[in-house]
Structure 1
Amino acid sequence: KKGYTNKDLETAGLISVSEKGKVFDRFRGRVMFTLCDHRGNVLGFAGRLLDANAKEAKYVNTAETPVYIKGNILYGLDITKDEIRKTKNAVICEGEIDTIQAYQAGTKNVVAIKGSALTEAQVNLLKRFAENIFLALDADMAGDAAAHRGIQTADNAGLNIKVVEIPDGKDPDECIKKDPAIWLQAVQDAVPFYDYVIDSAAKKYDPNSALGKKNIVKDTAKFLKPIENAVVRAHYLKKLSQIIDLEEDVIATQIEKEGDRLNVEQKTEMPEKVEVMKRRDYIEEYLLALLLQAQNPQDWLVFIKDKLSPKEFKSAGRGKIYDSLTKTKNEFDIKLFIGELPEELRPMADKLFLVDLGPVLDDQQKMLEEISRLVWDIKGLTIRERLNDVSLKIKEKGDDDALQKEFLSLTSELQKLIQDRRMISDDS
């Protein structure tokens, strides 16, 4: 009716097209949610399964496209931004249902981040409208690493953070269905984030035992050490001192030690480095670390070397290491391999070989999934960078048939990559 072609709909992530050309509606049998930017422009869609017994994913979202990037939007902000600006407060939920229920219950300054972690782009968007954020997330915010990263980003940006503690650990949707008044009271009684961290640790461990005191300080150190404001830091040291009955200077000294230990771990472990490294660097290093530490890299390279070229690495050095790996034989000796690399690449290879990858190396299925995902990510980022370059050229030169053709070709290539990845993920 609107004149959109199947190619347009496929690029937008609304349909899937089989190799035989058959078209499938990706959102069939689902209630639809429109994903808009803060101005109300439609960027994508989300769909929740209507049949609870159907053997399909409960939620389906538009795959990332040239216009929709999940971490760049806040669901509902186009509707609630005026109330957020008026109150200077934003209540943050995880998903669309929670947000709609909260809005209907009377919380008109609510948005959803579609996940457990705030991104830098979302924080920058929130800062335009709010001074205070109230987190009503399903995740354990004191223990969830991704949530922790988002909270640090918001804190560094100067936002005041509070936590909405919903009774019985329910999510906003469940709570509001039971009694909207309980939800509204929980929002009103939201506690400052650092109080929440300390109180959560005190409930988790015995504050009267030596081991309990040690664990409470250990759990809170990663949050309290980065506090830059001396008054705020002193306030929470005093609170912690009163709870575990130890001198403030003793606690402060131990927090510094724990913080230093965590910093050392973050420098040697790969999984939590996203916030301090560019995503592209992280992905490339993680892939090479997995290959270098595999008992035989060729067991895994056979799946990817025809899909990923050394030239697709942003770092020429990492590209050369990957190229050398693709040329190794079945019997792999890491010391011999590093020794034969050009001298300037050996420190990089040594560092990647020493990265702590955890249990993933012992799980072949997990290894394959991780390596495949990383290859897709590298290729996807490469295409997006080329799309950005072409978009800038189009803005500079105006209508140019060759550039327009290249833009459409890259868009189609990106969509096919996303579709292929989704099909593999659905099958696994």
Structure 2
Amino acid sequence: MISPTTIDQVFETARVEEVIGDFVQLKKAGSNFKGLSPFSDERSPSFMVSPVKQIWKDFSSGKGGNVVAFLMEHEHFTYPEAIKYLAKKYNIEIEETEQSDEQKEQASERESLYLVSEFASSYFQNILYKTDQGKSIGLSYFKERGFTNETIKEFDLGYSLDDWSAFTDAALKKGYQLEFLEKTGLTIVKEEKQFDRFKGRVMFPIKSMSGRILGFGGRILTNDKKAAKYLNSPESPIYHKSKVLYGIYMAKQSIAKEDNCYLVEGYTDVIQFHQRGIKNVVSSSGTALTSEQIRLINRLTKNITVLFDGDAAGLRASLRGIDLILEQGMNVKVCTFPEGEDPDSFARENSLEELTLYLEENAKDFIQFKASVLYEESKNDPIKKAETIRDIVNSISKIPDRIKKEIYIQECAKIMDISEGVLFSTLAQINKKDIQEADKKYKRDYQKSFEVIKNKQTVEKVDVQYVLEREIIKILLLYGNKTEDFEDLILKENDLGELILEPVIQEAKVFEKVFLDLQEDEMEFTNEKFKHLYYTIIDELNKHADFNLKSFINKVDGDMASEITTILMEDERYTLDDWNRMNIFPKEKNHTVAQLVSETILSLRCFLIDQKVKQFQAETLKNKTSSNTSVLEEVKDYSGLKMLLSRKLNRVL
């Protein structure tokens, strides 16, 4: 168990904008930060972070909460794991008891898979440094590649013994279940036998953006022609190779800082670049680039530089990945190395200055690159040249931004020596075809939607009481402990016997004013979630004169914290759009707290009076008797009171 003091220290130290900034590229938006949602595929920001309130809200998925809630949602951490992650990030010492065998058994499957992977990583590192085989084979290989001890430790590199079941036996002896060893792919189980998947390989742990070990890559060092040179962990509940980039944990801060990401092919390419001093580099680990991997980079930067080996044969096969990057609205450059060189060897043989200069001078725009690769194959064949041009224009058609499209068309016309008019015409044909396909899909989807909604006869109305109850919760959260001068309205009869509202100024704390007003009129919350939240906040404000919103959010359960975040961040939604650029200036709220409280309570009173009048009217129609004098008198009194309250509301508004 983690001590409450340590948890409090973590919450006091951790900054939500700093933690989320490690996973999402955030841009300033007034007093807040905005960015692309890490929970959905989008091109316009709907993700908001509030440094003042220390909360976040994702309007596209509806998720929100504090810094721990983000880690639990994004990285699938348990609560203790999120606290440990933050403690490590902010160098806070954390005490916890060793997990018993019983606790290990009770851990969820996902957590168990992570525990097994963490053990495997430690085991392989231990083998590398503390066994003769590890040092003579594994460590020697890494040294031959030019890796320093610091780099080997930084990337947690290791070695798996050339033994059929050395790792599996060690894991079972430590109490890890065979079921989870098999599910992570570390152990292969066949009938009564089990053996190590990565037997006799140097090991590269594959980490998530937060540093959790998801799987492994292993390289064989013998000349066994039957065995694959590189072997990756199979798909598992924690490892999906299409959604993972090797090196992203080490590179994320540098990618955001440099506003560019270098994309390479192999593990050693990443490590060699990192060791040389270029840290904003990741790898797709030998698999074809996927949309999910691109979106991972897109959260940190809009700029990708793809680095290819000098092998011309593999270039054409890699062009599809560039189109995928363009579809995501990102900027792409391509850099190739001299024949016979790859990023690993080139970084090893050149200084940081030489490597940086080479990348700057040789990184081409994707149009120039694609044209140079395809043009060599088609320069003497008109038919092939036409196909090449169409291929390039097809790539340009993937770009969402119209201005960029036009600029690239002009660039392509110059390179391929063809008129812009022809290229624009070709682009229009491709776009028309895409539009027709999209139109067909839209019509299909619309037909399905229409089938669902065509029988709906009523339009959903705004729930006024829900809105007002929600506003009361918001007032209590933001201003509950604040002392204000309130103008109370006392109902009196004047000399003519008419009901009038006489104003009286009283000083009170906001939460006391709200509580007493609601209690006086016997007004109850109808929404159960708000009702529970209301009494929890009132109790907290009553007990603690130094009520702190951040601490309160950190104490309540996940569902309540999410609801609080939604309430507090709703007004921030409009800042996600750059309204000022379109000469639209949203009106700022300039009410005093006292006015806001009075307006909300009065509005709720008016609404409830209105409901009461409607109830009386319904009863009158239902009974249809002549003796409705008392009911009519009550309706008259309520209507008069509503009129008085409405006048007061108009003055406040």
Interval containing the TM-score (normalised by the shorter chain): 0.5 to 0.7
TM-score normalised by length of structure 2:
0.37
The answer for the alignment partner of 1:348 in structure 2 is none
Q: What is the CA-CA distance between 1:137 and the residue it aligns to?
A: 4.1
CA contact (8 A) 2:263 2:283 kept: yes
Is it true that 1:201 corresponds to 2:374 in the alignment? yes
SS of the aligned residue for 2:339 comes to helix
Distance 1:143 1:35, change over 3 A: same
Rounded to whole Å, the distance in 2 between the matches of 1:167 and 1:256 is 37
Among 318, 339, 350, the alignment partner of 1:168 is 339
The answer for the alignment partner of 1:245 in structure 2 is 417
Is it true that 1:78 corresponds to 2:249 in the alignment? yes
The answer for the alignment partner of 1:51 in structure 2 is 222
Matched letter for residue 276 of structure 2: A
The answer for the alignment partner of 1:62 in structure 2 is 233
Q: What is the CA-CA distance between 1:242 and the residue it aligns to?
A: 2.5
CA contact (8 A) 1:116 1:147 kept: no
SS of the aligned residue for 1:136 comes to strand
Q: What is the CA-CA distance between 1:81 and the residue it aligns to?
A: 1.2
SS of the aligned residue for 1:168 comes to coil
Deviates more, 1:79-88 or 1:165-174: 165-174
Matches within 5 A, 1:241-320: 241-257=413-429
Distance 1:74 1:44, change over 3 A: same
Is it true that 1:192 corresponds to 2:365 in the alignment? yes
SS of the aligned residue for 1:237 comes to helix
Distance 1:186 1:258, change over 3 A: farther
The answer for the alignment partner of 2:180 in structure 1 is 8
Cα deviations by residue, 1:292-316 (Å, 9 ceiling, x for unpaired)? xxxxxxxxxxxxxxxxxxxxxxxxx
Matched letter for residue 69 of structure 1: H
The answer for the alignment partner of 2:32 in structure 1 is none
Q: What is the CA-CA distance between 1:141 and the residue it aligns to?
A: 8.2
CA contact (8 A) 2:329 2:399 kept: no
Is it true that 1:118 corresponds to 2:284 in the alignment? no
The answer for the alignment partner of 1:143 in structure 2 is 316
Deviates more, 1:70-79 or 1:52-61: 52-61
Q: What is the CA-CA distance between 1:167 and the residue it aligns to?
A: 1.7
Rounded to whole Å, the distance in 2 between the matches of 1:116 and 1:23 is 27
Cα deviations by residue, 1:126-175 (Å, 9 ceiling, x for unpaired)? 1222221111245978733x752x43343233321111221226432233
CA contact (8 A) 2:245 2:283 kept: yes
CA contact (8 A) 2:333 2:364 kept: yes
Deviates more, 1:79-88 or 1:244-253: 244-253
Distance 1:159 1:243, change over 3 A: closer
Distance 1:177 1:129, change over 3 A: same
Q: Which has the larger radius of gyration?
A: 2
Matched letter for residue 404 of structure 2: V
State the percentage of identical aligned residues: 33
Distance 1:125 1:262, change over 3 A: closer
The answer for the alignment partner of 2:198 in structure 1 is 27
CA contact (8 A) 1:218 1:258 kept: no
CA contact (8 A) 2:206 2:213 kept: yes
Distance 1:230 1:7, change over 3 A: closer
Cα deviations by residue, 1:189-225 (Å, 9 ceiling, x for unpaired)? 3122223222323333227x74464233133132123
Matched letter for residue 370 of structure 2: V
Rounded to whole Å, the distance in 2 between the matches of 1:242 and 1:111 is 33
TM-score normalised by length of structure 1:
0.54
Cα deviations by residue, 1:248-300 (Å, 9 ceiling, x for unpaired)? 112322444467789999xxxxxxxxxxxxxxxxxxxxxxxxxxxxxxxxxxx
Deviates more, 1:135-144 or 1:3-12: 135-144
CA contact (8 A) 2:397 2:427 kept: yes
The answer for the alignment partner of 1:38 in structure 2 is 209
The answer for the alignment partner of 1:218 in structure 2 is 390
CA contact (8 A) 1:16 1:24 kept: yes
Structure 2 spans left out of the alignment, 5+ residues: 1-172, 438-557, 560-653
The answer for the alignment partner of 1:94 in structure 2 is 265
SS of the aligned residue for 1:118 comes to coil
Distance 1:127 1:2, change over 3 A: farther
CA contact (8 A) 2:327 2:400 kept: no
CA contact (8 A) 1:29 1:50 kept: yes
Q: What is the CA-CA distance between 1:30 and the residue it aligns to?
A: 0.3
Rounded to whole Å, the distance in 1 between the matches of 2:377 and 2:340 is 15
Cα deviations by residue, 1:360-406 (Å, 9 ceiling, x for unpaired)? xxxxxxxxxxxxxxxxxxxxxxxxxxxxxxxxxxx99xxxxxxxxxx
Matched letter for residue 178 of structure 2: N
Q: What is the CA-CA distance between 1:24 and the residue it aligns to?
A: 1.0
Among 318, 322, 327, the alignment partner of 1:156 is 327
CA contact (8 A) 1:166 1:183 kept: no
Considering only aligned residues, what root-mean-square deviation do their CA atoms show, in Å? Answer: 3.3
Rounded to whole Å, the distance in 2 between the matches of 1:243 and 1:61 is 41
Distance 1:192 1:242, change over 3 A: closer
Distance 1:141 1:195, change over 3 A: farther
Matched letter for residue 35 of structure 1: I
CA contact (8 A) 1:14 1:62 kept: yes
Structure 1 spans left out of the alignment, 5+ residues: 266-394, 397-428
Matched letter for residue 219 of structure 2: R
Matched letter for residue 113 of structure 1: S
Is it true that 1:232 corresponds to 2:404 in the alignment? yes
SS of the aligned residue for 1:227 comes to coil
Cα deviations by residue, 1:15-50 (Å, 9 ceiling, x for unpaired)? 11222x122111111000111101011111110001
Q: What is the CA-CA distance between 1:95 and the residue it aligns to?
A: 1.9
Matched letter for residue 12 of structure 1: T
